Chain A
Amino acid sequence: MGDSLSSTSPSMASSDEMSADVGRRADVARHLVSFGKGVAGIAGATLLWELGRTFGVLPSRLAPGITDIGRAMVDGFSASGNLTDALVITVDAWARGLAAAILVAVPLGAAIGVSRWADAATHVLIEFIRPIPAVALIPVAIVLFGLQTSMQVSLIAFACIWPILFSTRYGVRNVDPLFHDTAKVMGVSDLGRAWKVTAPAALPAVFTGIRTAASIGIVVAIAAQIVAGAPGLGFQLSRMQQGGNVPGAFAALVVTGILGYMVNLVMGWAEKRLAGWQHEMTERTR
């Protein structure tokens, strides 16, 4: 503290820049600490797993050791293994299903958010179809799309539509009326208002729906692969189980978990960057 005060040279950094520096270092330190905590958590879980195996709490054949799982993962990602293809196919199907769901659900959600009669007309139909589990529709999807990736994409899209639909409807419905009034007073046309006021204001809610749908999409992709035998991580898991290859099954499971984590990470980052001004606004006022 005393050092910075004692210097009086003109090249000394302004107090603003210095506090920004301190702020950045504090940020980095915070991230390192939380990363460290995460690593410690995983290490602790691994330790518990191995202890469980050693003391017979976990059955040794069905709960392989971490090194066996690691070796199975390495084999799986090698040239002769199936995990790389399975991962790529899963991500591909998920991305296409999510994109298709966005394409359908955002306009539909906006329509029923804006129009009361459209909302009333579709309400019963939506509430009827919505609870159908995507996995139950596998035979229908196979008859329509065969065993190609588009079969999985159709199921993922079906499951992802609902959270996006409802979030969009909510976002459109709950635009602060003050924004609409202000725009009208400024002479903005109805269409201009839809584009310049409603859409940006609803965007954070839409993105929340997309983020929820993203996680659901992974679950449905894996489930469809397990049940239908569609290619991907779920089928790898099932195949390994049926072959009695338990480390291989766990390898597929771990990769699935990592994929789910990465999806959540990416969606969270994207939400913050592209639709996070609500967070910013609330943080600034604090």
Chain B
Amino acid sequence: MQSLARRFRVLTTLLVLAVLVAGCGDGNDATETTEGAPASTAPASTTADTQTPAEEEDETSETTADTAADELISVNAAYIPVSAAAALHLGVNEGFFEAEGLDVTLTEAEPPSMIPSVLSGDIDFAFLNAPAVMVARENGLAVQGVAAASKNSLEPEDHFIQLVVNPDSGISSPADLAGRTVAVDVLYQLPHLSLLNALRSEGVDTSSIEFTELPFPAMPEAVAAGDVDAVLAVEPFATLSEAQGGQILMSASEGQEPELAQSVMLASEQFISANTDVVDRFIRGMDNAMAFAEENPDTVRQVISEFTAIPPEMAAQIRLPAFRPGFDDESWSQWMDVLVSEGLVSEDFDVEAAYYRP
């Protein structure tokens, strides 16, 4: 019984220590790798910083290059590890954001994290897409698109989201899809909505098509085996599907305005109104990075193999998104048709409020 009591005391001491360690844990977050989240920047402190560079530039004429580096404003941007985020990375790597006085720290995450992290103030700019921003606003979330992050290729066959069919399925035109099964990654996300728009522009009745969900990595084998009749695959899985004998039926970008916003960087309305200067700088940096990316596909392919898990040899073959910068008033309104008919936004949705104009 003596040793029992001692053991019990040892155990409780260990548990108490464990709990104390748990309490002290978060202090380590600052030293985490880039896969972990960096320290967050509260909007209040960024507003204060916005004053400093302008003031200093007015006052001094002897600002050295070293002092200029001290004036960089820290912002956080979250992205999804997909090829369309390449321009954002080039903005950091090639110094386009730094030229605008911004020190941008990138954090990886998945789509469900994008809007919540922006609303919590943990992240300043997040990577998502135009229809998702519109649906979020319809549901009362105060976010706005600020800059275009990717566009569609001008030629449909170059688009990086393609509808692939099994050559033995008997489907040779979009009209043949009636009554068949089409797999998308997640319903009502950008690829699915793009396809609905594309099919309608071809005069196909989409109500007879059975849409089902299937993760992108499973698509090549599923369509080759005939588990589904067609898959809407994003790169690298469109290329992988073709390698297994799949045939491209059509591009998801058919029937779209060329400058229709696809992937966008978004921010919360609160952050935008409190940090207008920072947002304007971010947009300029992003637009410059986009223009650079559009002119330098090899650099794009290389950075894709760095920040995604796509191997370099695959990155060299896949279809790339386009990176023409900027959006205008037409860039968002074409999404209304498909969003309204799918019941995702109401007819009186204010499209113009969905994005920020500098």
Among A89, A227, A242, A246, the residue within 8 A (CB) of B32 is A89
Among B26, B109, B221, B308, the residue within 8 A (CB) of A229 is B109
Residues of A within 8 A of B218 (CB): 62
Q: By the criterion CB–CB under 8 Å, are B122 and A82 in contact? A: no
Q: By the criterion CB–CB under 8 Å, are A139 and B4 in contact? A: no
Q: By the criterion CB–CB under 8 Å, are B109 and A62 in contact? A: no
Q: Does A57 contact B (CB under 8 A)?
A: no
Q: By the criterion CB–CB under 8 Å, are B221 and A146 in contact? A: no
Q: Does B82 contact A (CB under 8 A)?
A: yes
Q: Does A102 contact B (CB under 8 A)?
A: yes
Q: Which of A76-98 contact B (CB under 8 A)?
A: 82, 85-86, 89, 92, 95-96
Q: By the criterion CB–CB under 8 Å, are A147 and B78 in contact? A: yes
Q: Does B343 contact A (CB under 8 A)?
A: no
Interface of B is mostly: helix
Among B7, B11, B309, the residue within 8 A (CB) of A243 is B309
B interface residues, how many (CB within 8 angstroms): 56
If the complex has contacts A61-B220, A147-B123, A227-B112, are A103 and B22 also in contact, measured as CB distance less than 8 A? yes
Q: By the criterion CB–CB under 8 Å, are B120 and A144 in contact? A: yes
The smallest C-beta distance from A92 to any residue of chain B, in angstroms, reads 7
Q: By the criterion CB–CB under 8 Å, are A239 and B26 in contact? A: no
Q: By the criterion CB–CB under 8 Å, are A245 and B15 in contact? A: no
Q: Does A150 contact B (CB under 8 A)?
A: yes
Q: Please, how many angstroms separate the alpha-carbon atoms of A76 and B4 in the complex?
A: 45
Q: By the criterion CB–CB under 8 Å, are A143 and B35 in contact? A: no
Q: Does A199 contact B (CB under 8 A)?
A: yes
* 17 residue pairs A–B, Cβ–Cβ below 8 Å: A62-B218, A85-B36, A100-B22, A106-B15, A138-B113, A139-B112, A147-B37, A147-B117, A149-B37, A203-B8, A228-B110, A239-B108, A241-B216, A242-B216, A243-B308, A244-B311, A274-B10
The smallest C-beta distance from B355 to any residue of chain A, in angstroms, reads 23
Residues of B within 8 A of A196 (CB): 5
Q: Does B358 contact A (CB under 8 A)?
A: no
Q: Please, how many angstroms separate the alpha-carbon atoms of A242 and B14 in the complex?
A: 41
Residues of B within 8 A of A239 (CB): 81, 108, 308-309
Q: By the criterion CB–CB under 8 Å, are B22 and A244 in contact? A: no
Residues of A within 8 A of B291 (CB): none
Q: By the criterion CB–CB under 8 Å, are B33 and A242 in contact? A: no
Stretch at the interface among A109-117, A214-222, A230-238: A230-238
Among B18, B37, B308, the residue within 8 A (CB) of A146 is B37
Residues of B within 8 A of A95 (CB): 18, 21-22
Residues of A within 8 A of B311 (CB): 243-245
If the complex has contacts A99-B21, A231-B32, A240-B309, are A274 and B119 also in contact, measured as CB distance less than 8 A? no
The smallest C-beta distance from A151 to any residue of chain B, in angstroms, reads 8
If the complex has contacts A200-B8, A229-B113, A231-B36, are A243 and B22 also in contact, measured as CB distance less than 8 A? no
If the complex has contacts A89-B35, A146-B40, A275-B11, are A241 and B217 also in contact, measured as CB distance less than 8 A? yes
Q: By the criterion CB–CB under 8 Å, are B122 and A148 in contact? A: yes
Residues of A within 8 A of B154 (CB): none
Q: Does B53 contact A (CB under 8 A)?
A: no
Q: By the criterion CB–CB under 8 Å, are A96 and B25 in contact? A: yes
Q: By the criterion CB–CB under 8 Å, are B22 and A147 in contact? A: no
Q: Can you name the residue of chain A whose Cβ is closest to the Cβ of B110?
A: A229
Q: Which of B123-173 contact A (CB under 8 A)?
A: 123
Q: Does B96 contact A (CB under 8 A)?
A: no
Q: By the criterion CB–CB under 8 Å, are A148 and B29 in contact? A: yes
Q: By the criterion CB–CB under 8 Å, are B120 and A142 in contact? A: yes
Residues of B within 8 A of A100 (CB): 19, 22
Q: Please, how many angstroms separate the alpha-carbon atoms of A99 and B36 in the complex?
A: 21
Q: Does A153 contact B (CB under 8 A)?
A: yes
Q: Does B179 contact A (CB under 8 A)?
A: no
Q: Please, how many angstroms separate the alpha-carbon atoms of A196 and B113 in the complex?
A: 48
Q: By the criterion CB–CB under 8 Å, are B37 and A85 in contact? A: no
